[in-house]
A and B are shown apart, each in its own frame.
Chain A
Amino acid sequence: MIELFNISKTYAKSDRKAVDSLSLKIPDGKIFGFLGPNGAGKTTTIRVFCGALEPDSGTVLIDGIPMAERPLEAKRHLGLVHDNPELFNRLKANEYLNFVADVFGISAEERRLRIQEYSGRFGLADVLSASIGGFSRGMKQKLGVIASLIHDPSNWVLDEPMVGLDPQSAFELKEIMRQRTKAGRCVFFSTHVMEVAEKVCDELAIIDKGKIIFTGTIDALRRRREGVEGRKGAEEESLERLFLELVDSSRGETT
């Protein structure tokens, strides 16, 4: 479970808040989607609660452990897939995975089993001894996914995980998400594609300009629109449109 209370973050070289008094509770056992247009603050939020960025104010609890006071312990409960898979082109895939496993203190046997399982599922098994520099974008992305699962974290966080994945890998990824939530784990992922969210999420939050403008289930999102507009038959309207209108109307309110 991940809880955020009143998080604000302004980058040093910027004059506006990338994340603005954001509070969010991400429960266990559900696939939680995080939606928003480009530059909305998704990556910033994720980096803040994964301990990669220090918030200006606010509290982060990971399984009840405060990130600010006990960062190492909190981070052990997290597995993060970064938005940019371009890292360490000079390392070999195995070296990269082993580094991550070493950092989490995973035993040799345990890491071997996990690497075997996930590299098999993603079709990377026979390139693990190759240099990451020779990987395609999607292969790097999948390697990042394997690395984030090597310690079997209770909270799995993915920033734009579907970008660059082929249908089969995307399917595998969604399967793993479902398996984990069924086992009572927390899964959180960001995207700016409504369709993905619609197909995968149990719950979602929509962020724009650093502020949450909606949280709830997809059905609740539909109902909310009906309520606001007093219109029937919104079911037929695409969620994409709903999303765009929601973002638009929130912009109308704030500016």
Chain B
Amino acid sequence: MKSRFASLVILNIQSAFSLSLPSWQEFKKPKTLLKTIGIGVGAILLLADVGMVFVLNSQAMYKALKPVGLEQMLFLFTATMATVFIFVLSFTMALSLFSSSGIDSGFLVLPFKPHEMLAAKMGLVYFANALLGIFLMLITTIVYGIHEHPPFQFYLYGLLSALAIPIIPIGISYLILIPLMRVSSIFRNKNFIFYLAGFIGVGLALAFNFYIQSTMSQMQDPGFFANFSDPESLISRIGQAWIPSWLTWKALSDADRLWGALAVLGNLALGVAVAALIALAMGKPYVRCIQIFGETSLTRAKKGAARRAEKESRTARRPLASLLLRELRLMNREPSYFINGPFIVVLMPVLLVVIFAAQRSSLEEVMAMLGPLMEGPAGYLVPAAFGAFLGSSTSIACTAISRDAKALPWIRALPIRPLEYFGAKLLHAEIFTLWGMLIGCGAGWLLFKTSAFDLVLAAILSLLVSTAFNMGGLWLDTAFPRLKWDNPIAAMKQNLNAVIVILGVMGIIVALGAISFFTSLPRNVYALVYGAIFFGFILVWIKVYPPYAQKRLAKME
């Protein structure tokens, strides 16, 4: 019974992440070895990069809390932050993994109990989020450990608490999602519900962002702590709100006492109990959802539809236009692609308006403070950076080939020019580049009253940067496409190329921002220099990529 459940979890994990390490035989080939080492080094750099932010954060918090003797509050903050972080991530992950593959309906015919199937799915989401929890907790325990030299159990309890933290958020994600999905069967429109849930996910992410920002600004205010003459009262207040955080705090601050051990065990037991309850309660409706999702509606043509179909079959398009249309349809109709790709960028204007309306007064304060800065090159660099980031964060180009993995033999058997094939993919990404540029410039104009000249500079820069990143991403996915997967999400969100490109965009934009801030060249020279760099890359790409891609397409198998 146990092993059956465990094997279901493992199968889920393998199929969702398409984990397959090269065999020992393959490691002997220098190419595979180099590639593996390369990916390994890249992964470590990436982790270090992201970890740095949290290390600095923990360090700053420790420094702020130590003088008032509240340094152990660090655990409470980390646990709470990790909980919220994991909740947002696990919610979107649970959504995109909800039932996008035939695998789930395959399990329906196997002798699994409903709650086992749900628990196994939760196990899959847990796997990824536990890694994140451990990562965040580890950073805090090490930062604290370096300063305070706690006993060995401290680290052990930290690890165990990290394992406990994700359980309840994942359970809650399913508690929200399953009824929502059940309702969708009334609408008979699954995609709508996916988009709605995606919207909720973005809302949660936003709320999380506000939460972090407000606690951070409160913490910088010394009066914040003075309000709580008795530290216990503050801790118990947060603790009452979220018991697992309180238990984590208890476990780590009393690591050398029996209390600590009890708190860790209690935390784990609480998590398992809540998750088990949710699995038991929601198992049946979950399985019903999977069944409904297995159904696809087949509508026979009515008069009007038939006429439209007729009309559709009477339009002949040029191959490039047809390829582009196919790209757009396949991307936007697959919820797990759409939600992790264009969705946020498309929604950005809506979110901006919401933020603007909600935080108008404080935003205006910030604007006034930034006023002098915006007189300088920041006047066009900031909107350009915003537009460039939006324009290149859709993951369209850098997952273009991976998403098409299953269709490659089909594509290659058709008389399609490789350049048109890749060109359509780039064009698809460029649509969002244009959109990102419009939003970046629009925001600049709205918030900073950016001048027309600056807007033109920002538009050109943002187009150049995003285009360069789209081209680079397409290149990356042509060179290292992810061709073997069961679940479409593996091609999109769990695609290393997408991670590299998003972090690459952020990294380069931040680096250029820092350079611009710390140097003082004439105002418009920055536009010239940065523009030239990215334009140079684009020229190199135009020269090198097409012949490479043409050869590479024939060799993909």
Spell out A's residues near B (CB within 8 Å).
11-12, 47, 50-54, 71-73, 75-76, 78, 80, 82, 86-91, 94-95, 97-109, 111-112, 115, 126-131, 133-135
Contact = CB atoms under 8 A, between A and B. Distances in A.
Nearest to B320: A102
A75 B319 contact: no
Interface centre among B415, B417, B557 (most CB of A within 10 A): B415
Interface of B: 296-301, 305-306, 308-310, 312-319, 321-323, 325-326, 329-330, 333-334, 406-410, 412-417, 554-555, 557
A103 B413 contact: no
Contacts of A72: 415, 417
Contacts of B329: 90-91, 95
Contacts of A105: 316, 319
Contacts of B417: 72
A78 B298 contact: no
A94 B329 CA distance: 13
A112 B298 CA distance: 22
B185 to A, nearest CB: 16
A134 B557 contact: no
Nearest to A15: B25
A52 B310 CA distance: 31
Contact of B298 (A82, A94, A101, A134): A134
Contact of A127 (B301, B325, B326): B301
B298 A130 contact: yes
A90 B554 CA distance: 26
B409 A98 contact: no
A54 B326 contact: no
B414 A100 contact: yes
Contacts of B412: 51-53
A108 B313 contact: yes
Given A12-B557, A129-B306, A104 B413 contact: no
Contacts of B407: 87-88
B496 to A, nearest CB: 19
Smallest CB-CB A-B distances: 10 pairs: A134-B298, A102-B322, A75-B415, A129-B309, A134-B296, A90-B333, A52-B409, A52-B412, A52-B413, A50-B413
A91 B333 CA distance: 8
A171 to B, nearest CB: 23
7 contacts: A51-B413, A52-B409, A52-B410, A91-B333, A111-B313, A127-B300, A134-B298
Given A80-B413, A91-B329, A98-B317, 17 more contacts: A47-B409, A53-B409, A53-B412, A72-B417, A75-B413, A76-B415, A90-B333, A98-B313, A103-B322, A104-B415, A111-B316, A112-B313, A127-B298, A127-B299, A129-B299, A129-B301, A129-B305
